[in-house]
A and B are shown apart, each in its own frame.
Chain A
Amino acid sequence: MPQFFFNKKLILLLVSIILLVALIGFSMRDRDKLTWPEQFIQDTTGWAQNVFNKPVSAVTRFVENLGDLQHTYDENKKLKARLDEYVQLKTEVQELSEENEDLRKTLDKKDSLREYESIQATVIGRDPDQMWHELIRINKGKLQGVEKNMAVITADGLIGKVKTPGQFSSTVELLTSVDTTNRVSAIVQGDDKAYGIIEGFDEEKGLLMLKRIPYDKKIKKNSYVITSGYGGIFPRGLPIGKVVDVKIDQNGLNQTAYVQPSTDFYDINNVMVLERKVAGKEAEIQDEGQE
C-alpha cells in the first residue's frame, strides 16, 4: 500500500513542522530560566568543554607566546615611552579618587553606580553558529554567584551580558548580537555629554551603533564611549569604545554614532562578570516581591 506509506510520511513531516514552530516559539519567549533538561545539558556540555579547552588553550597560548616574543623589543620601546605618562596619570587618578571620596563623605552619599564586585571567569567555548547568535560560554555559574543580565567585561572594556546562567557554567551574549533585548545605555564623553543607547552591530563595518543621541549634540570623532549605568544592570563607567563616525537619522531628530569597540570580540579568553552594588529597579521590585 504505497499510498498509505506516503500519507504516514506526510503526517510525520507535518507533525514535526508543528513541533518545530512550537519549540522555536517556546524558546523565543523572554525566558527567565531555562527548563531543567536544558540546564542539565548545558552544564554537562560546559563540563566537557572545560575538559577539552584546557589542553587546547595551553597549546595555543604557547604558540601565541612564541609569536609575541618576536615583537617584544618594539613593544618594550613603546611601553617605556608611555611609562612616564602613566606615573603622572596614576598620581592624578589617586588624588581625584581621594577627593571624590571626601566629597561623597561630606555629602553623606554612600551609593555609587560605579561600584561593583567582580567574578573572574575563563571562556571555555563559543557558539560555532556565529553571525546569527553571538554567544560564548564561561566556566562560572550560579554557584559562584553569576546571575542573569550581569555585565561581562575584559580588561579592555564591556563585551556583553550574561544570558543564561547555569549551575557551573553560563552563556554570555556579546554586544554584537542582534537581539531586541540587547541594549546598553551609554555616554559619549566630552565637554557636552551625550546620552544614547547601543543598539546593534554593523556586521560589514564591524562597528557598534550608538543610537538615539539628540540631534543638537555635537559629537567629536575619537571621543570615548562608556556605560552610563542608567539601564539598571550595568555599572557606570565601563569603557565601550571610540566614536569613528556620526550620522543624522532619517527623520532628523536623532543621530547615530558608529563606535569602534575597545575590545576585540574575536579574541576573548579571560573575562570578569560584574555585580553592581547598587541594585537596579528591576532587582528592587523582585526583592520586594519576595518579601
Chain B
Amino acid sequence: MRKLIIPLLALIIFIGESVLANVFSGYLYGGTSFLIPRMTVIFIAFLTIYGSRKTAFMYAFILGLLYDVAYTEILGVYTFAFPVAAYLISKIMKILQSNLLISGLITLLFIAVIEAAVYQLNILLGFTSVDFRDFSLLRLVPTLLLNLVFIVITAYPLRRTIESLRVDSEGE
C-alpha cells in the first residue's frame, strides 16, 4: 500500500496541474501576466534530492513524456527537459547541503532554467515571437513568484513523505 503513495502523488500532481490551470485560468493567464504552475517540476526536484536518484529519473522521464503527449502535443520538449533537470539537480546536490532552504532555491532555479530553455526552443520552432524582455516580465518572473509560494507550502510535507518512504524501502 505504501508503495502506491508516490505514483499516486505523481498522478494527482500531474492531473491537478491541468485542472488547476483550467479552473483558475482567469487568475493565472487572464491578466497581463502568465503564471505557470510547475508543481511537477517541484515534485521531481524533491524526489531527486530526498528520494532515490533512479526513481527520480524514471519519474522525470515518464512525467515529461505524459506532459508532452497529453498537454502540449509537441513530443520531446519536456521528455528531454525534466530528466536533464533531474540529472543536473542530483549533480549539484552532491556539493550542496540538502536542507529545505537550499533545495527550495535550487528547485526555483531549475524552474527558471526549464522556462528559459523551453522559451528558446519555442522561439526556434516559431511558436512565439515574444522577445526575451517581454518573456521575463510577462511570464518568467510571475511564474517564479507563483512557484515560490507553492514551494513554501509544499516543501516540508513533500520532504517528509518522500523521506519516510525512502527509509521504508531501504529497510526491506
A71 to B101, CA, bound (A): 44
Q: Distance in Å from the Cβ of B54 to the closest Cβ of chain A?
A: 15
Of B16, B18, B74, which contacts A126 at CB under 8 A?
Answer: B18
A134 to B22, CA, bound (A): 11
Of B19, B76, B127, B129, which contacts A27 at CB under 8 A?
Answer: B76
Assess the A266–B26 pair: CB atoms within 8 A.
yes
Query: Binding site of B, secondary structure by majority: helix, strand, loop or mixed?
Result: helix
A16 to B76, CA, bound (A): 10
Chain B, interface residues (CB within 8 Å), range = 35 or more
A26 to B68, CA, bound (A): 13
Stretch at the interface among B29-37, B42-50, B152-160, B162-170: B29-37
> Contact string, B11-23, partner A, CB cutoff 8 A, digits 1/0?
1000111111111
The residues of A that contact B72 with a CB separation of less than 8 Å are 127, 129, 132-133, 135
The residues of B that contact A75 with a CB separation of less than 8 Å are none
Of B15, B29, B138, which contacts A45 at CB under 8 A?
Answer: B15
Assess the A48–B15 pair: CB atoms within 8 A.
yes
The answer to whether the Cβ of A41 comes within 8 Å of any Cβ in the partner chain is yes
Assess the B70–A128 pair: CB atoms within 8 A.
no
A26 to B69, CA, bound (A): 13
The answer to whether the Cβ of B73 comes within 8 Å of any Cβ in the partner chain is yes
> Contact string, A10-26, partner B, CB cutoff 8 A, digits 1/0?
00000011011111101
User: Contacts A45-B66, A52-B15 known; A127 to B75 CB distance under 8 Å?
Assistant: no
Assess the A128–B37 pair: CB atoms within 8 A.
yes
Please report which residues of chain A, range 32-77, place their CB below 8 angstroms from some CB of chain B when the two chains form the complex.
37-38, 41-42, 45, 48-49, 52-53, 56-57, 60
The answer to whether the Cβ of A125 comes within 8 Å of any Cβ in the partner chain is yes
Please report which residues of chain A, range 241-291, place their CB below 8 angstroms from some CB of chain B when the two chains form the complex.
264, 266-268
The answer to whether the Cβ of A208 comes within 8 Å of any Cβ in the partner chain is no
Chain A, interface residues (CB within 8 Å), range = 35 or more
User: Contacts A24-B75, A48-B11, A204-B134 known; A132 to B21 CB distance under 8 Å?
Assistant: no
The answer to whether the Cβ of B113 comes within 8 Å of any Cβ in the partner chain is no
Assess the A131–B139 pair: CB atoms within 8 A.
yes
The answer to whether the Cβ of B98 comes within 8 Å of any Cβ in the partner chain is no
User: Contacts A127-B21, A128-B21, A133-B127 known; A27 to B139 CB distance under 8 Å?
Assistant: no
User: Contacts A28-B74, A38-B69, A45-B66 known; A130 to B29 CB distance under 8 Å?
Assistant: yes
The residues of B that contact A19 with a CB separation of less than 8 Å are 76
Assess the A178–B18 pair: CB atoms within 8 A.
no
The residues of B that contact A22 with a CB separation of less than 8 Å are 76
The answer to whether the Cβ of A203 comes within 8 Å of any Cβ in the partner chain is yes
Q: Distance in Å from the Cβ of A240 to the closest Cβ of chain B?
A: 19
The residues of B that contact A197 with a CB separation of less than 8 Å are none
Binding site for A on B (CB under 8 A): 11, 15-23, 25-26, 28-30, 32, 34, 36-37, 66-77, 79-80, 118, 122, 125-130, 134, 138-139
CB<8 Å pairs between A and B, sample of 20: A23-B75, A27-B73, A27-B76, A41-B70, A45-B18, A45-B66, A125-B21, A127-B18, A127-B71, A128-B17, A128-B71, A129-B72, A130-B36, A131-B36, A131-B138, A133-B72, A135-B71, A137-B18, A164-B73, A267-B30
